[in-house]
Amino acid sequence: MEEVEKFLGFQKKVAFGIQAVGFIGMALMIVLGFTLLPRWMVVFTPLVLVLLLPLVRKLPKGLHMVICGGWTNLISVIYYAAVIIRVILR
């Protein structure tokens, strides 16, 4: 059992590391102007939204459970909704 836990811990570190590199890369591409998105859209990138998790945890108990439980999914919804709105209003 200990071997499985060690492997899962390693796997988690690798997956989150790759995800972090991707988030940083996406934010840098937006800030440096390599995309069609304006620079202010970096505020809606997963990199910035992940950093808001400590604030989300301070919400009242009922709301906290709903939002924190699905925060990683909400990050994707917020980012892609912002991109779609920006593309439509372009």
Give the pLDDT confidence of 30-74 residue by residue, as tens digits. Answer: 999 999 889 999 999 998 888 888 888 888 888 878 787 788 888
Sign of CA dihedral 57, 58, 60, 63: negative
* pLDDT for the residue 81: 93
Rounded CA gap, 71 and 50, in Å? 8
* pLDDT for the residue 24: 94
* pLDDT for the residue 66: 79
Sign of CA dihedral 22, 25, 26, 27: positive
State the pTM of this model: 0.76
* pLDDT for the residue 10: 94
2-11, 53-62, 74-83: which has the minimum mean pLDDT? 53-62
Sign of CA dihedral 23, 28, 30, 34: negative
